[in-house]
Amino acid sequence: MNHTEIKTLGALKKASWTSRSIKEELREHLISKLQAGTPTFTGIHGYEHTVIPELERAILSKHNINLLGLRGQAKTRLARQMVNLLDEWMPIVAGSEINDDPLNPISRYATELIKEKGDDTPIHWVHRSERFAEKLATPDVTVADIVGDVDPIKAANLKLSYADDRVIHYGMIPRANRSIFVINELPDLQARIQVALFNILQEGDIQIRGFKLRLPLDMQFVFTANPEDYTNRGSIVTPLKDRIGSQILTHYPETVAIARTITDQEANLDERQKTKVHVPNLVKDLIEEIGFVARESEYIDEKSGISARMSITAFENLMSTAERRMLLSGDATTAIRYSDIMGIIPAITGKVELVYEGEQEGADEVAKILIGDATRSLFDDYFPKIEKLVKDNQEDPYGDVLAWFFEQSGFELEDNLTDKEYKLMLDSITPLEELVNKYQPETVEEDRYFLKEFILFGLVEYKKLSKYKLTTGMRFNDLYGNYISGLG
C-alpha cells in the first residue's frame, strides 16, 4: 500500500487497510523475522541466548515488559529497537493529539471530525520512528506530566467551562497512544503515579481532575528498573508489578571477548585516532578486564554495578592519551604504551560507587588497584606464572630481568618520550627481548614493546620490582637493592 496516495478516510477504506493493536503488530513482525532467520535485535552482544529469547517470548505473548538489571546493561537500547518491529507507516486522524486510529477513534476531537466529514476526513501518516516515547522516572514527575491536566489557557481561548473535557491537556502517555512507551527507572516513580499507570494498564481509562475518560489506549509499555533502586529509593507497587506480563533479567557481558566487541562498537573515536594510534590486542583485553575485576572488588559497591560505559570511556581516554603524547613528541604515528593506561583513571573514578573501604583508599587509588589487579589477571595468559618463592633447583624465568635491575641504579621511563627514544629505553633491558622471544615469539613488531613494558608492570604487581611515580614518568627499581641501600 502506497501511503503517500492515501489522504482521506475513504481512500484508506478502499485500500482495505485493517486496524490492529500495537502488540499484534509487534508479534506479527517478530514472527516474520523469526521465520526468515533475520536477527531481531542488532548491535546488542552477549544476549543471544539469554535476554533476547526471553524478550521475544514476551512479545509473542503480547506482554508489557519490565527489564530488570544494573546500569549499563543495554535495557533502553533493547526497548528502542522494538520500534523496528512496527509497521513502517501508521495512519492517524489528521490533527489528533493522541494518534487516533481512523477506523477506531477514541478522542472527542476525532469522533466529531469523522462524524462531520465522513470519508473526507483527512488522514496523516506517522513513521514508526516517531512511535516511541521515553520518560525517565524521577520523584518530581507528576500525574499531569504523564497522564494530563486541565489547561486553563485552552479553556479561556475556547471559552469553555472546566466541565467540558475539551479543556484537558493530554500528558505523555495519551500522546503516545499506539506507540511504545518506555519508563526508565520505574521504582523512582512515586507510588501514586504508579497507581495511575496501573489504572491505564488494567482498565484502559485515565482520570484527570475529576474527569473520568474512557480512553482505551493502545500501548506497549516497557519499564526498566535497577535492583538497587528497590531498597535505596523506592519500589514497584504490587498491583502494578502484578500487571506487568514479563520481567526479564539483564546482565553484564560474560566474557572479555564479548565486552571487547561492545567497546569496539560503541567507542567514539576520531578517524585520526584510528589510523595513527596502534592498539595491541592485549590492551583491549586489559581495558575490559578492569571492568571484570571491578565487579568483584572489595572496594566497590557490587549492588551499584559497573556499567559497560566505563570500558567504553576508558578506551576513548586511552586513545586520547596516546594521541596527546604523539602530538607533543612530534611523532607521526604511535602505539599504545602501558604507561598510557594511567590516563584512563578519570574514566574509572566517575563510574564506580565506592564502599567505606574504597572511600578510605580514595577513588584514584582504587582505580590504580583495579588496573593492577587486571594486569595480574592477564599476566599468566602471556608469560609464566610469577612465583613468590623460587626453589634452588628451579629456574626463574624472570631471573635475568631481576638481575639486570639489581646491577643497575634504576630505570626511568618518561611519559612523553618519542617512539624512537621509548624503544631504545626498553631495548636497553636485553632480558625483556629474550622473554618476549621465548614466550610470545609470534608477536608482531608493533606489539612487542607493549609486552616489554607489560612485563615490568607485572613484576611490580607481583612485588618483584618496585616503581615510583615521577613528575614526568615512572622509575623502576630492584626491591632487594633498595633494601640494601636503605640500610646503608
| pLDDT-above-90 percentage for the chain | 66
Task: Give the model confidence (pLDDT) of 413-467 as tens digits.
Answer: 998 899 999 999 999 999 999 999 999 999 999 999 999 999 999 999 999 999 9
Task: Give the model confidence (pLDDT) of 144-153 as tens digits.
Answer: 888 877 777 7
Cα(42)–Cα(191) distance, rounded to whole angstroms? 35
Looking at residue 253, its pLDDT comes to: 94
Burial class from Cβ neighbours inside 10 Å (0-12, 13-18, 19+) for residue 472 reads: exposed
Task: Give the model confidence (pLDDT) of 294-344 as tens digits.
Answer: 999 999 988 888 888 999 999 999 999 999 999 999 999 999 999 999 999
Q: pTM (2 decimals)? A: 0.85
- Does 239 have pLDDT greater than 90? no
Give the C-alpha distances (Å, rounded to integers) separating 52 from 48, 58, 453.
6, 10, 41
Q: Which of 125, 139, 199, 206 is nearest to 172 (CA)?
A: 206
Cα(274)–Cα(322) distance, rounded to whole angstroms? 11
- Sorting pLDDT into bands at 50, 70 and 90, what band is 213? low
Q: Which of 187, 222, 11, 201 is nearest to 102 (CA)?
A: 11
Q: Are 217 and 129 within 8 A, CB to CB?
A: no
Q: Are 128 and 178 within 8 A, CB to CB?
A: no
Question: Using H for helix, E for strand and C for coil, what is the string for the chain?
Answer: CCHHHCCEHHHHHHCCCCCCCHHHHHHHHHHHHHHHCCCCCCCCCCCCCCHHHHHHHHHHCCCCEEEECCCCCCHHHHHHHHHHHCCCEEEEECCCCCCCECCECCCHHHHHHHHHHHHHCEEEEEEHHHCEEEEECCCCCCHHHHCEEECHHHHHHHCCCCCCHHHEEECHHHHCCCEEEEEECHHHCCHHHHHHHHHHHHHCCEEECCEEECCCCCEEEEEEECCCHHHHCCCCCHHHHHHCCEEEECCCCCCHHHHHHHHHHHCCCCHHHHHHEECCHHHHHHHHHHHHHHHHCCCECCCCCCCHHHHHHHHHHHHHHHHHHHHHHCCCCEECCHHHHHHHHHHHHCCCCECHHHHHHCHHHHHHHHHHHHHHHHHHHHCCCCCCCCCCCCCCCCHHHHHHHHHCCCEEEECCCCHHHHHHHHHCCHHHHHHHHHHCCCCCHHHHHHHHHHHHHHHHHCCCEEEEEECCEEEEEEHHHHHHHHHC
Task: Give the model confidence (pLDDT) of 80-139 as tens digits.
Answer: 999 999 999 999 999 999 999 999 998 888 999 999 999 999 999 999 999 999 998 887
Q: Which of 206, 225, 228 is nearest to 147 (CA)?
A: 206
- Sorting pLDDT into bands at 50, 70 and 90, what band is 167? confident
- Does 230 have pLDDT greater than 90? no
Could you give the dihedral angle defined by the CA atoms of residues 170, 174, 180 and 186, in that order, rounded to the nearest 10 degrees? 70
Q: Which of 229, 231, 356 is nearest to 300 (CA)?
A: 356
Q: Are 177 and 99 within 8 A, CB to CB?
A: yes
- Does 164 have pLDDT greater than 70? no
